[in-house]
Amino acid sequence: MRVMIVEDDRETAEHIKRGLEECGYVADHADNGIDGLNMAMDGSYNVIIVDRMLPGLEGLELIRRLREHEDLTPVLILSALGDVDDRVQGLRAGGDDYLTKPFAFVELLARVEALSRRKDQDSTITELELDDLYLNRLTREVRRGGQKINLQPREYRLLEYLMRNSGQVVTRTMLLENVWDYHFDPQTNIIDVHISRLRGKIDKGFDKPLLQTVRGAGYMLKP
């Protein structure tokens, strides 16, 4: 798995590069937008991490040029600019995810893992399975152990996202952005309520719980 890091702050870049390599990734680094674009254009990366404020070529322009060349490699934008308008600009420029500085490496890693699976996963896949839990993306049918489970629309979206990222930590911010389409934290217990409801439907009455809470990090579906 290869990751391209385009970041002009050497300390930040080394921190990310070292952390990714310790997790088994091959990580390359460019400290300016022009070199980053040239390296990224070879199409061999699973994920590209791009800082917004770069010398030579600004981060959002780098992403636009990638997309103009029909390069669909998932891009994670890093930025100290964290307002809603800034996030919207980044996503509209072609970014797939947006993480504000300062950040916890565990969250950056979770986002890289999710983006790498997004690239590798065939969009024609219509069925997801984890242990005895089954989800059909066409019919929206959900079963566990052959027993049909009725979910509300938001519960279904939550479960689908967790199943697409099974075995990996999914943070609260990732859920807000991908299930609720919030690019800010509304400071409510909305996630806790839906996680509780979902857990009651897919785990209650079954021998093995699948939906885990990872303290201080988020949630995970795992057998």
CATH number of 127-221: 1.10.10.10
Q: What angle do CA 106, 111, 113 make, to 5 degrees?
A: 95
Q: What angle do CA 41, 33, 86 make, to 5 degrees?
A: 105
Residue 148's Cβ-side half-sphere holds a number of Cα atoms within 13 Å equal to 4
User: Is beta strand 2-6 parallel, antiparallel or unpaired with respect to 47-51?
Assistant: parallel
Q: Could you tell me which residues are beta bridge partners of residue 156?
A: none
CATH of 2-120, one of 3.30.565.10, 3.40.50.300, 3.40.50.2300, 3.40.50.620: 3.40.50.2300
Residue spans of the domains in the chain: they are: 2-120, 127-221
Domains 2-120 and 127-221 share a fold: no
Q: Which has the closest alpha carbon to 134: 125, 145, 123, 124?
A: 145
Give me the tens of pLDDT residue by residue for the chain, a chain 223 residues long: 899 999 999 999 999 999 999 999 999 999 999 999 999 887 778 899 999 999 999 999 999 999 888 788 899 999 998 888 888 899 889 999 999 999 999 999 999 998 887 655 545 578 899 999 999 988 889 999 999 999 998 999 999 999 988 888 898 888 988 888 776 666 778 899 999 999 999 999 998 999 999 988 899 999 8
